[in-house]
Amino acid sequence: MGQNNKIAFHPISTLTGECEVPGDKSISHRAVIFGSISKGITEINNFLPGLDCISTISCFQKLGVEIKQKTSSTVIVKGVGLHGLLEPYDVLDVGNSGTTIRLLTGLLSGTKFYSVLTGDSSIRKRPMKRVKEPLQQMGANLMGRDQGNLAPITIIGAPLQPMHYHSPVASAQVKSSILLAGLWVDGQTVVTEPTKSRDHTERMYTSFGGSLHVDGNTVTILGGSPKLEGQKVNVPGDISSAAFLMVAASIIPNSEICIRNVGMNPTRSGIVDALLAMNADIEIINERKYGEELVADFIVRSSNLIGTEISGDIIPRLIDEIPVLLIAATQAKGKTVIRDAKELRVKETDRIQVMHDELLKLGVITIPREDGMEIDGEQEFTSGTIYTHHDHRIGMCFAIAGCVAKGPIFIEDYDAVKVSFPNFTEVMNSLGAICE
Ligand SMILES: O=C(O)C1=C[C@@H](OP(=O)(O)O)[C@@H](O)[C@H](O)C1
Ligand SMILES: C=C(OP(=O)(O)O)C(=O)O
């Protein structure tokens, strides 16, 4: 492990200032995807230059799309149209990105060519059955390890049929994978979810000129190779990245920060609701439309948090923020209970187990459950060393913990944060964090 792959976050007495977080990861992926399958130029501003989104760019370059990063966060895509994608000359490597592998499996299922998708050791453990089964029902010809349930996934493009899929999980990756496959279908593709998951695919498809119908938790798309046109996409700041700063300002005493231009899509804003339920001091100002999305500025001040229960329909609206909510819960008065969040077990890591194990290294006790966790508040972090298991969100959780610990927290494999928040250290430093 290189020297700069381990870092220490030290306790601090205040977090103050103004900042922005980088562009939304989910929206950045989709802007590259829709830009590639549209005709004409797509300009993406405030693109997230995180490793996951760079993986999406590199996959589409191998599929014959010209994509240039004018600056790290300004991307120009020369769209080739759905039928202009070319058989890739090599295996498509999605790196650490679950979104890329699930969405591309759907999109590539309807081509006329052969392609193979793989990724890092975490990706090769993550379930692909959730997209493989519905896509096979549509006629997709997919193979992979463990009877097609694990990457590497081989796709032999095939004609696809209309389908109404009732998804057992509320997953935007499953929904989007099927909808992207549905673009090839002569007829309707319908997806119904148990609870509504993030709807960035639906919003962006519409802004590129596609038409679909949303009725509650059901989305219907009329395929047959729609005519999509390149667009200018302005990506809002990622609320999942802002979540780390919101929790930090809430638990570090004497803090007041302003985070500008944060995405406030209602299918993503569960973190705000959960923190408000915990008595956080969050002021939401300048709420405004931002293309198809909503953004706002957040003022967050320190507060005396109280424990809460987080379960049910809110879970898909804050699934990636649960690890950092656990950090907030350690500093709250009373118990916090997380339920209905079994999905955490199939993310970059098993985030229930990893949070339990790494918190324990710092003297914080939790009770892991199959679908969540129980955690008592008013627990102190001792100084110590934790390991990210190459999960970006785990790394950032413990950076925040270090700010309120009794002594420094050392984070091994810290580079993982580059997956979604490449300038996390710089932003934290600008607000007064001490790390080295
Ligand atoms: O579609 C997306 O961009 C994402 C969907 C979510 O995963 P699931 O669809 O598996 O819930 C989320 O955890 C992931 O970070 C990004
Ligand atoms: C789960 C995540 O992403 P993905 O599924 O795209 O790897 C995440 O960013 O927390």
Residue 177 to residue 242: CA distance in whole angstroms? 26
Residues 296 and 333 in one domain: yes
Q: Do 176 and 194 have their domain in common?
A: yes
Do 17 and 63 belong to one domain? no
Residue 322 and residue 253 share a domain: yes
Looking at residue 192, what is its pLDDT? 98
For ligand 2, atom 5, name the residue with the nearest CA: 98
Res. 204: pLDDT tops 70: yes
Q: Which residues contact 270 (CB under 8 A, 6 or more apart)?
A: 314, 315, 316, 317, 318, 321
Read off the pLDDT of residues 111-150 as tens digits, 9 standing for 90 and up. Answer: 999 999 999 999 999 999 999 999 999 999 999 999 999 9
Any idea which ligand is nearest the CA of 176?
A: 1
- Examine the domain organization and report whether 181 and 291 are in the same domain: no
The pLDDT tens digits of the residues spanning 237-272 come to: 999 999 999 999 999 999 999 999 999 999 999 999
CA–CA gap between residue 178 and residue 166 (Å, rounded): 11
Assess whether 120 and 178 both reside in one domain. Answer: yes
The residue nearest atom 10 of ligand 1, judged by CA position, is: 171
Last residue within a domain, chosen from 201, 234, 267: 234
- List of residues 6+ apart from 397 with CB closer than 8 A: 244, 323, 324, 326, 327, 355
Residues 185 and 292 in one domain: no
Output the pLDDT for position 11: 98
Last residue within a domain, chosen from 214, 234, 254 = 234
Banded pLDDT at 1 (limits 50, 70, 90):
very low
User: What tens digit of pLDDT does each residue of 307-348 get?
Assistant: 999 999 999 999 999 999 999 999 999 999 999 999 999 999
With DSSP H G I counted as helix, E B as strand and the rest as coil, what are the percentages for the chain, rounded to 5? 35, 30, 35
Task: Enter the ipTM.
Answer: 0.99
pLDDT at 421 over 80: yes
Pocket test for ligand 1, best of 26, 96, 99, 265 (most atoms within 8 A of CB): 99
Pair 375, 312 in one domain: yes
DSSP β-bridge partners for residue 145: 150
Task: Give the CATH number for residue 262.
Answer: 3.65.10.10
The dihedral built from the CA positions of residue 352, 327, 239 and 5, taken in this order, carries a sign that is: negative
Arithmetic mean of pLDDT, 350-358: 98
Q: 405 and 289, same structural domain?
A: yes
The one-letter code for the residue type at 259 is I
Q: Rounded mean pLDDT of 273-283?
A: 98
The answer to whether residue 2 scores a pLDDT higher than 50 is no
| Residue positions annotated with a catalytic role | 320
Pocket of ligand 2 (CB under 6 A): 25, 52, 97-99, 320, 347-348, 393, 420
The predicted model gives 392-414 an average pLDDT of 98
Q: pLDDT (tens digit, 9 = 90+) per residue, 150-160?
A: 999 999 999 99
Q: Would you put residue 148 in left (φ > 0), alpha (ψ -120 to 50) or beta?
A: left
Ligand 2 atom 1: residue of nearest CA: 347
Dist. CA 13 → ligand 2 center (Å): 32
Pocket residue to mutate for ligand 1, from 101, 178, 198, 349, most atoms within 8 A of Cβ? 198
pLDDT at 3: 43
Q: What pLDDT score does 226 carry?
A: 86
Q: How far is the CA of 273 from the centre of ligand 2 (A)?
A: 21
**What's the confidence (pLDDT) of residue 225?**
80
| Residue of higher predicted confidence among 225 and 432 | 432
Total number of domains constituting the chain: 2
Are 7 and 64 part of one and the same domain? no
Angle ∠(6,25,36) on CA atoms, nearest 5: 125
Average pLDDT on 409-427 reads: 98
Question: 317 with 419, same domain?
Answer: yes
Looking at residues 369-396, what average pLDDT do you find?
98
Residue 4 has a pLDDT of 54
* pTM (2 d.p.): 0.98
- Is residue 320 a known part of a binding site? yes
Ligand 2 atom 8: the closest Cα is on which residue?
320
Residue type, 198: R
What is the domain range of residue 361?
Answer: 3-23+236-435
CA of 172 relative to ligand 1 center, distance in Å = 6
State how far the Cα of 166 lies from the Cα of 119, in Å rounded to an integer. Answer: 28
Distance of alpha carbon 283 from the chain centroid:
24
List the structure tokens of 101: 């592998």
210 with 334, same domain: the answer is: no
Separation of alpha carbons 320 and 355, rounded Å: 13
Quick: pLDDT tens for 284-301: 999 999 999 999 999 999
Instruction: Provide the pLDDT confidence category of residue 88 given band limits of 50, 70 and 90.
Output: very high
Residue 273 has pLDDT above 60, yes or no: yes
What is the whole-number distance in angstroms between the Cα of residue 27 and the centre of ligand 1? 11
Q: Is 6 exposed, middle or buried (0-12, 13-18, 19+ CB in 10 A)?
A: middle
Q: Cα–Cα distance between 330 and 335 in angstroms, integer?
A: 9
Out of 234, 267, 299, pick the residue that ends a domain: 234
SS3 240: helix
